Amino acid sequence: MVVGAAVVVATAVVVGAVVVVGAEEGDDELHAAAISAVVIRVAIINRRLFKRDLMVVTLCEAFGMRIIRLHVGRKSDSCQHRVVETVKVTFVIEDAMPNRWVGPDITPKLLELASTGGRCEAGGQAVMSSATYPNHASFITGLRPIDHGVMVNRVWTGGEFVGSESIGPIGETIFEAARRAGMSTAALLGDHKLVGVTGAHVADVHWPPEGVRPDVELDEFRYALNQAVIDAYDAHHPGPGAVDLTVVHFNDPDTACHLHGPDSPEARERMRLTDSDLGQLLERLRPEWEDTVVIVVSDHDQETVWGEGFDLAEEFSRKGLPGIVEPEGTCALIIDGPDTATLMGLDGVDGALVLDSTSTLVWGPEGQVFGQWYDFLHGAHGGPRCREQVAVVGGGHPVVAELADALNHRRPSAVDWAPTIADLCGFDLSGATGRSLLSRSALVNRPAASPEE
Ligand SMILES: [Zn+2]
């Protein structure tokens, strides 16, 4: 080997951890080639190792094998460094998929994925309000609603409420952070407004373009059907090996739960079909499975609703109370309203949560929605009863075991996925306030977690 003495010292660590995929047992020539390549590679990246505690090393095709997986360890008194090869992350959101309906009858593909990794059986936790856009903004920034500004689906500008898709979240998104680190991203989103809500136009590939409702088959609420999202993946995604981070949103369960109720046979059938759609997506990842980490979540649950909408603005007006009311399903956001004691004394208010000096969320008894009532409505969300999220990890990459182990010990919040993805891909998202699921391990790329930075 033509290597310097300093590198040879590191070689002992490298050799012990090398895994050669595709090599025959006892194929000495192939193993020797792999080890030499690793040493040279380490020498090349050595300078960068001191700067970052997560490095990406990929050795492909050079020795007639598909890929070499390796972990390079270097322990010091203060910090452990590790090098892993390319990680390709696919983050899937199944909108409103109830964690309580995850099971062999309805979600066999999801459970098959979980069998390659793991699942938080108690489920993840939505941020409040348990609406779609606040949680997607948290998924993508690792920030709470009071930080990214999307507390309900529409954002208060100081003078009016406007759709959060026209503003986007405050704070850096995983699309921006990945781009800054020279990584590639893609977003294929069944709810076209999520392009604006998540700032996905920054991604190298985003669909539908500019968040305009696409000319594809739409569901009852005029969102793209899951199949259209998969067709868009086939048409626009450059392939699982070519993109570092892919975000996919399947909308179908949300529409079905709103129309039929989350526990209805009709909704469960749409969940079953969505699981089959997930299976189709996973098939597309198979060629790069050894590099792949798949995370599947839902953004919120739904609850069965009935009766009429509760008009809190009318109640304020009747009692001469101040405040601007924005209904959001089974909760409502109040701007510059009464204190919580006053709110809790009102009919139709069972709970209140102060978000900041101007904003308070309230929710009511089971079955009650705020604002306008629609006769077709049988399911809704927004309040604390709908916070449970699906939380599943899988894939062929060795780091999946670490993620799965973390899910055995804690319930992830919606804000935890962005820093987890940042750690997996190896880019910095230091502004996030969520906690990476890899924070217990050395596979951390966040400055706060590394005493050397
Ligand atoms: Zn949703």
DSSP string, 329-363: TTEEEEES---HHHHHTSTT--EEEE-SSSEEEEE
Domain assignment present for residue 178? The answer is yes
Asked if residue 231 and residue 172 are part of one domain, the reply reads yes
Q: How confident is residue 79, by pLDDT bands cut at 50, 70 and 90?
A: very low
25, 56: one domain: yes
> Which whole number is the average pLDDT over 312-318?
97
**121 contact partners, CB below 8 Å, separation of at least 6:** none
Q: What is the DSSP letter of 311?
A: -
Strand 154-156 relative to strand 161-163, pairing: antiparallel
| Per-residue pLDDT, 335 | 98
User: What is the model's pLDDT at position 84?
Assistant: 44
Q: How close is the Cα of 382 to the center of ligand 1, in Å?
A: 9
| Ligand 1 centroid from CA 370, angstroms | 17
- Same domain (yes/no): 334, 420: no
Contact 253, 221 (CB under 8 A): no
Q: Does any domain span residue 452?
A: no
Q: Are residues 288 and 414 in the same domain?
A: yes
Same structural domain, 173 and 95: yes
**81 Cβ partners below 8 Å, 6+ apart?**
49, 53, 72, 73, 74, 75, 442
Average pLDDT value for residue range 279-284: 98
Tell me if 201 is assigned to some domain: yes
Using CB atoms within 10 A of its CB, is residue 61 exposed (0-12), middle (13-18) or buried (19+)?
exposed
Q: Is residue 451 part of a domain?
A: no
The predicted pLDDT at position 440 comes to: 54
Does residue 274 fall inside a structural domain?
A: yes
424 shares its domain with 333: no
Q: Is the Cβ–Cβ distance between 391 and 412 less than 8 Å? A: yes
DSSP, collapsed to helix, strand or coil, labels residue 11 as: helix
Ligand 1: centre distance to CA 299 (Å): 5
Distance 437 CA to ligand 1 centre (A): 23
Listed residue (239, 249, 235) closest to 283, CA to CA: 239
61 CA → ligand 1 middle, Å: 42
The answer to the question of residue 450 being in a domain is no
Residue 331 belongs to what domain range?
312-377
Which residue has 């990890």 as its token pair?
A: 393
Token pair of 175 as six digits = 């699309």
- Structural domain contains residue 127: yes
Instruction: State whether 206 and 281 are in the same domain.
Output: yes
Residue 391 sits in the same domain as residue 416: yes
Ligand 1 center from residue 138 Cα (angstroms): 13
Task: Please report, for the domain that includes residue 324, its CATH number.
Answer: 3.30.1360
Tens digit of each residue's pLDDT (9 = 90 or more) over 364-377:
999 999 999 999 99
137 and 262 inside one domain: yes
Beta-carbon contacts of 373 under 8 Å, excluding residues fewer than 6 positions away, are 307, 308, 309
Q: How far is the CA of 54 from the centre of ligand 1 (A)?
A: 33
Same domain, 177 and 101: yes
Half-sphere exposure of 312 (CA within 13 A, CB side): 32
Whether 197 contacts 224, CB under 8 Å: no
CATH number for position 92? 3.40.720.10
pLDDT digits (tens, 9 = 90+) for 168-195: 999 999 999 999 999 999 999 999 999 9
CA–centroid distance, 322 to ligand 1, in Å, is: 30
Summarize pLDDT for 9-47 with one digit per residue, the tens: 243 334 333 433 333 333 333 333 344 344 333 323 333
Question: What's the chain's average pLDDT?
Answer: 84
Distance CA 50, CA 81 (A): 9
Domain count, the chain: 3
Evaluate if residue 55 carries a pLDDT over 50: no
How does residue 439 score in pLDDT terms, banded at 50, 70 and 90? confident
* All residues at 6 or more sequence positions from 123 whose CB lies less than 8 Å from its CB, including other chains: 99, 100, 388, 389, 390, 391, 411
Choose among 451, 452, 453, 414: nearest CA to 435. 414
Given a cut of 60, whether residue 121 has pLDDT beyond it is yes
Domain boundary among 84, 116, 132: 84
Whole-angstrom distance, CA of residue 212 vs CA of residue 214:
6
Is residue 78 pLDDT above 60, yes or no?
no
CB 332 within 8 Å of CB 325: yes
Which residue in 245, 218, 248, 219 sits closest to 233, CA to CA?
248
Q: What pLDDT score was predicted for residue 296?
A: 99
Domain boundary among 327, 352, 377: 377
Separation of 253 CA from ligand 1 center, angstroms? 9
The upper half-sphere exposure of residue 128, i.e. CA atoms within 13 Å in the direction of its Cβ, equals 18
Cα 71 to Cα 324: distance, rounded to the nearest angstrom: 55
Return the pLDDT at 270.
98
Spell out the SS3 assignment of 404-420. HHHHHHCCCEHHHHHHH
Would residue 224 count as lying in a domain? Answer: yes
Half-sphere exposure for 296 (CA within 13 Å, toward CB): 31
- In the reported structure, the alpha carbon of residue 231 is separated from the centroid of ligand 1 by a whole-number distance in angstroms of 21
Domain boundary among 58, 84, 110: 84
Q: CA 109: distance to chain centroid?
A: 18
Instruction: Report the C-alpha gap between 21 and 24 in whole angstroms.
Output: 9
Q: What is the mean pLDDT of residues 144-157?
A: 98
| 58-67, 268-277, 424-433: least confident range | 58-67
Distance separating alpha carbons of residues 192 and 196, to the nearest angstrom: 8
Closest listed residue to residue 280, CA positions, set 356, 241, 334, 226 = 226
Tens of pLDDT, residues 346-356: 999 999 999 99
Q: Are residue 265 and residue 389 in the same domain, yes or no?
A: yes
Same domain, 97 and 222: yes
